[in-house]
Amino acid sequence: MSELIIKNGYVFDPVQGIKGDKKDICIKDGKIVDKVGSSAKVIDAKDKTVMAGAVEIHAHVAGPKVNLGRIYRPEDKLFSCTPTKGMERMGGGASIPTTFKTGYEYAKMGFAVAMEAAMPPLFSRHVHEEIRDTPIIDEGAFPVFGNNWFVLEYLKNQEIENTAAYCAWLLKVTKGYAIKVVNPGGTEAWGWGLNCLTVNDPVPYFDITPAEIVKGLIEANEYLGLPHSMHIHPNNLGNPGCYETTLDTMKIAQGIKPKNKFGREQVLHLTHTQFHSYGGTNWGDFESKAKEITDFVNKNKNITIDTGNVTLDETTTMTADGPFEHHLTGLNHLKWANCDVELETAAGVVPYIYSPSISVCAIQWAIGLEIALMMKDPMRCYITTDHPNAGPFTRYPRVYKWLMSEKARKAQIDSFKHKDKVLSQTVIGTLDREISLYELAQMTRAGPAKSLGLAAMCGGLKPGMDADVAIYNINPDKPVANPDDIEKAFSRCAAFIKSGVQVVSNGEIVNNGNKRTLWVNVKAKENPQVMRDINEKFVKYYSMTQANYEALGHHFVPNPYAIEVDATN
Partner 1 sequence: METVTITMKNAPALYLEADTISPDAFAGKSATQIAELPVFEGNSPSTLGKYFEISGSAGATAADTKIVVRGDVKKVKYIGFKMTAGEVVIEGSTDQYVGAWMKGGKLTAKGDVGAFAATAMKGGELIIEGNAGNYLGAAYRGDWRGMSGGKILVKGNAGSDIGMYMLGGEIVVNGNTDVHVMTHAEGGKTIIKGNAASKIGGQMVEGTIFVFGSIDVMMPGFKPDGEVELEVDGTKAKFARFIGDMGERHKKKKGIIVYGNLYKKI
Partner 2 sequence: MTKTITDVICPFCGTLCDDVEVVVSDDGKKLLEVANACVIGTEKFLHSQSADRVTKPRLRQEDGSWKTISYDEAADYTAKLLAKAKKPLMYGWSSTNCEAQSVGNEIAEVAKACCDNTAAVCHGTTLIAVQDIGLPTCTLGEVKNRADRVIFWGCNPAHAHPRHMSRYSIFPRGFFTGKGQMSRKLVVVDPRCTDTAKMADIHLQIEQGRDYELLNALRVALKGEWLPDTVAGIPAEKIREAADILKSGRFGIIFFGMGVTQSLSKNHNIDEAIALTKDLNEYTKYSIMPMRGHYNVTGSGEVFAWQFGFPYSVDLTRGFARYNPGDSSSIDLLCRGEVDAVFTIGSDPGAHFPISAVKAIAKVDSVCIDPHITPTSGVSKLHVPVAFNGVETGGNCYRMDNVPIDCRKVVDPPEGMMTDLDFLTMVCNRLKKLKGVA
Please give the residue ranges that form the binding site for partner 2 (CB under 8 A): 62, 64, 66-68, 70-74, 76-77, 81-84, 86-87, 89-93, 98-100, 122-123, 125-126, 129-130, 133, 149, 191-193, 205, 326, 329, 335-343, 346, 349-350, 540-545, 547-548, 551-553, 555-556
Pick between residue 140 and residue 322 the one whose CB is nearest to partner 2. 322
Min dist CB 437 to partner 2, Å, is 35
Min dist CB 453 to partner 2, Å, is 28
Pick between residue 70 and residue 126 the one whose CB is nearest to partner 1. 70
Pick between residue 1 and residue 78 the one whose CB is nearest to partner 1. 78
Cα(151)–Cα(153) distance, rounded to whole angstroms? 5
Q: From the list partner 1, partner 2, none, which binds 333 (C-beta under 5 to 8 Å, kind-based)?
A: partner 1
Q: Which residues contact 74 (CB under 8 A, 6 or more apart)?
A: none
Neighbour-count burial of 30, counting CB atoms closer than 10 A to its CB (0-12 exposed, 13-18 middle, 19+ buried): middle
Q: What are phi and psi of 523, to 5 degrees?
A: -90, 110
Cα(165)–Cα(145) distance, rounded to whole angstroms? 13
Pick between residue 350 and residue 361 the one whose CB is nearest to partner 2. 350
- Between vectors from CA 191 to CA 188 and to CA 193, what angle results, nearest 5°? 110
Q: From the list partner 2, partner 1, none, which binds 251 (C-beta under 5 to 8 Å, kind-based)?
A: none
Pick between residue 100 and residue 496 the one whose CB is nearest to partner 2. 100
Min dist CB 326 to partner 1, Å, is 15
Residue 376: C-alpha distances to residues 81, 273, 294, 392, 439 (Å): 40, 15, 8, 26, 10
Pick between residue 13 and residue 130 the one whose CB is nearest to partner 2. 130
Min dist CB 60 to partner 2, Å, is 13
Residues near partner 1 (CB under 8 A) are 72-76, 78, 333-335
Cα(174)–Cα(182) distance, rounded to whole angstroms? 18
Q: From the list partner 2, partner 1, none, which binds 336 (C-beta under 5 to 8 Å, kind-based)?
A: partner 2
User: Is the distance from CB of 290 to CB of 426 less than 8 angstroms?
Assistant: yes
Pick between residue 72 and residue 296 the one whose CB is nearest to partner 1. 72
Min dist CB 75 to partner 1, Å, is 4
Classified as helix, coil or strand, 453 is coil
Please, where are the H alpha helices in 480-545?
484-491, 528-540
User: Is the distance from CB of 36 to CB of 29 less than 8 angstroms?
Assistant: no
Min dist CB 332 to partner 1, Å, is 10
Classified as helix, coil or strand, 502 is strand
Q: From the list partner 1, partner 2, none, which binds 548 (C-beta under 5 to 8 Å, kind-based)?
A: partner 2
Classified as helix, coil or strand, 368 is helix
Pick between residue 427 and residue 510 the one whose CB is nearest to partner 2. 510
Q: From the list partner 1, partner 2, none, which binds 490 (C-beta under 5 to 8 Å, kind-based)?
A: none
Q: From the list partner 2, partner 1, none, which binds 123 (C-beta under 5 to 8 Å, kind-based)?
A: partner 2
Q: Which residues contact 355 (CB under 8 A, 6 or more apart)?
A: 312, 361
Q: From the list partner 1, partner 2, none, which binds 353 (C-beta under 5 to 8 Å, kind-based)?
A: none
Cα(219)–Cα(225) distance, rounded to whole angstroms? 10
Q: How many CA atoms lie within 13 A of 515 on its CB side?
A: 30
Please count the other Cβ atoms lying within 10 Å of the Cβ belonging to residue 360: 19
For residue 448, give the nearest of 229, 204, 274 by alpha carbon: 229
Q: From the list partner 2, partner 1, none, which binds 100 (C-beta under 5 to 8 Å, kind-based)?
A: partner 2
Min dist CB 78 to partner 1, Å, is 6
Min dist CB 74 to partner 1, Å, is 4
Pick between residue 98 and residue 260 the one whose CB is nearest to partner 2. 98
Q: From the list partner 1, partner 2, none, which binds 338 (C-beta under 5 to 8 Å, kind-based)?
A: partner 2
Q: From the list partner 2, partner 1, none, which binds 283 (C-beta under 5 to 8 Å, kind-based)?
A: none
Classified as helix, coil or strand, 17 is coil
Pick between residue 92 and residue 216 the one whose CB is nearest to partner 1. 92
Q: If you write DSSP's letter for every residue of 227-246 in order, what string do you get?
A: SS-EEEE-TTTTSTTTHHHH
For residue 2, give the nearest of 34, 41, 59 by alpha carbon: 41
